[in-house]
A and B are shown apart, each in its own frame.
Chain A
C-alpha cells in the first residue's frame, strides 16, 4: 500500500486545514516543552539545595575557634546530625578565591579577617532540624543562621505551582489540539466521501482506507514537534549565558549548558526531541482516530 504518498496527497490538497492543525499542535508542544524544561530545571535546582547543608551558622569576628569546635562537638553528640563541617576564616578565603578565580578585581583587598567562620550542618532527618536549632541559637558568637529548609520549601512551592499550572494548561491545549485535528480530519473524510465509497465497494479493507487519515494526524504532530523542538533548543542556546550566570552554581545545569557541542548537552536535547516527537505523533493520531471512528464506520 502506498501509504505515505497517499497521506502526503491528502495533506497537499488542503494545505490551510493542515496549517491550522499544525499551528495548534505547535503551540501545545511549545508550551509543554517550556514547562518540561522549567520543571526539569527546577528539579535539579531543588536537588542542589537539598544536597547543601541544611543549616549554615556564621560566627561573628573574634569568636574563639575552640568555642566553635565545642558547638560542633555538642551538635555531633546529639546523634541527629549527618555531618557538621567547620569552615575556618582561612577555609572561607580559600573558597572565595576558588569561586572568583576568574575575576581578579574581586580578589583584591579581601583577607581572611573579613570573612566569617562557619559551621555547615546536615541532619540525618529534616525533622531533627527543629531540635538542633535551639542548641545553635543558644551558642555564643553566633551572628547569622541560614536555614536552608526555608529556601527549599519556597522552591518546592514554586515548582509545584509551575507544574500544576503548566500541566493544566498543557492538558487543556492538548485537548484543544485533539479536537482541531478531529475536525480537520473529519472535514477531509467528508471531502473524500466518494473516494472512500468507491474504495469500499472495490474491496479495500477498513484499515487501507483509515490508515492515511490516521497517519495524516500523526504527521501534523511530527511537524509541530520538529518546529517547536527547534525553537525551544534555539531559545535555550540563546539564553544560555544568562542561565549560566545565575543557575551555573547548580552542577547539572552547569554541566549541560557549559558546552553545547558536548554529549552532555546533545544527549538530553535528542531525548527531549524524541519526547516531543512521540507526544506530537500521539496527539495527532488520537485526533485522527477519533475522526476516523466517528466518520468511517465499516
Chain B
C-alpha cells in the first residue's frame, strides 16, 4: 500500500510542485499518473523513493514512513521499489547483462542465482540475444527494456516508470506497456507517469491526473482528459525533454 497524506512539495521557495496531495494506491494496482509537464508527476515518483523529501505531509510505503527514514536506511526502501527512469540511468561501461545483474548483486545474491534470474528477466523483456551488448549499441526501446529488466530483476513489490514511452515510437511503446502489464499481473504494483493519451485511454486503468501540483481527478478506469491549456502545453513540450520537476 502506498499512501500520500496531505503532501506538498516546494522547490526553493518557488511554486509548489505538489500541493496538499492525498492519495492511496493498494497493492497490485496498475496506475497511470498523467498531466502536463510541471504537473508534479516526477516529483510524485521521486518522493516515493526518498530522492526528495516533502515540504509537508507524509509519504508511506507499506509500513515505512518514507519521509522520516534515515538516509542510511533508504536503500532498504529502494529495494522494494524498482524504478524505470526516463533517461534510463544505465551504466554505460557495462553490458546489458551486467546492468541487469547489478540489481541482484546489490542484494548479495549468489553468482548462480544472478545468472539464472538475470537471464530470465532478459528473456522476459526480449533482450536475451543482446545480453553482451553495451548500452551505446542499443536502440532507445532496447535501452528502456534494459532499464525495466534491471528494475524488476530483484523482484520489487512496486515498479515506478517515469515516462517509459516518452522517446519511443508507438509500436515500441506498446511493447514496453505489454511488459509492464505482464509484471503487474505477477502482483507488482505499477505506477506509470506518462503523456501518452492513447495508451491511457486504451488501457482503461486507474488514472490519477495532476496539474500544477494539484490532484485534478482520480478515476478507476480513467481517460486522458485533454484540456485546452493542457493540450497546447503538451504539444509544445512533446518533443522536448521533460522538466526535472515533472
What is the interface size of chain B, counting residues whose CB is below 8 A from a CB of the partner?
25
Residue pair B106, A202 in contact (C-beta under 8 Å): yes
Q: A-B pairs with CB below 8 Å: how many?
A: 50
Please tell me if B78 contacts chain A, counting CB pairs below 8 Å.
Answer: yes
Q: B71, B78, B108: which contacts A201 (Cβ < 8 A)?
A: B78
Q: Is A205 an interface residue (CB 8 A)?
A: yes
A208 to B76, CA, bound (A): 13
Given A195-B91, A202-B83, A202-B150, A1-B75 contact (CB < 8 Å):
no
A155 to chain B, nearest CB (A): 55
Say yes or no: A202-B71 contact (C-beta < 8 A), given A1-B105, A2-B105, A208-B106: no
Query: Shortest beta-carbon distance, A258 to chain B, in Å?
Result: 51
- Report if A206 contacts B (CB, 8 A): yes
Given A208-B106, A298-B71, A298-B72, CB of A203 within 8 Å of CB of B89: no
**How many angstroms from the CA of A197 to the CA of B83 in the assembled complex?**
13
B178-198, CB under 8 A of A: which get 1 and which 0? 000000000000000000000
Residues of A within 8 A of B89 (CB): 197-198, 201
* Chain A residue nearest in CB terms to B98: A2
Let me know if B51 is at the binding interface, CB within 8 A.
Answer: yes
CB atoms of A203 and B72 under 8 A apart: no
Set B76, B102, B108: member contacting A202, Cβ < 8 A: B102
Determine if B223 is an interface residue (Cβ-Cβ < 8 Å).
no
A201 partner residues in chain B, CB cutoff 8 A: 49, 51, 78, 83, 85, 89
Q: Which residues of B have CB within 8 Å of A199?
A: 102, 106
Tell me, rounded to whole Å, the shortest Cβ–Cβ distance linking A206 to chain B: 6
Task: Report A199 CB to chain B, min CB distance, Å.
Answer: 7
Q: In the complex, what residue of chain A is closest to B101 when comparing beta carbons?
A: A2
Within 8 A of A (CB), among B84-104: 85, 89-91, 102-103
Q: A203-B78, A203-B106, A204-B106 are in contact. Are A198 and B91 (CB under 8 A)?
A: yes
Chain B residues closer than 8 Å to A2, beta-carbon distance: 105
For B46, the closest partner residue in chain A by CB is A201
Q: Is B54 an interface residue (CB 8 A)?
A: no
Taking A202-B102, A203-B75, A203-B77 as known contacts, 19 extra A-B pairs with beta carbons closer than 8 A to each other, sorted by chain A number, are: A1-B105, A198-B89, A198-B90, A201-B49, A201-B83, A201-B89, A202-B83, A202-B103, A202-B106, A203-B78, A203-B79, A203-B103, A205-B106, A206-B75, A208-B105, A297-B71, A298-B71, A298-B74, A298-B75
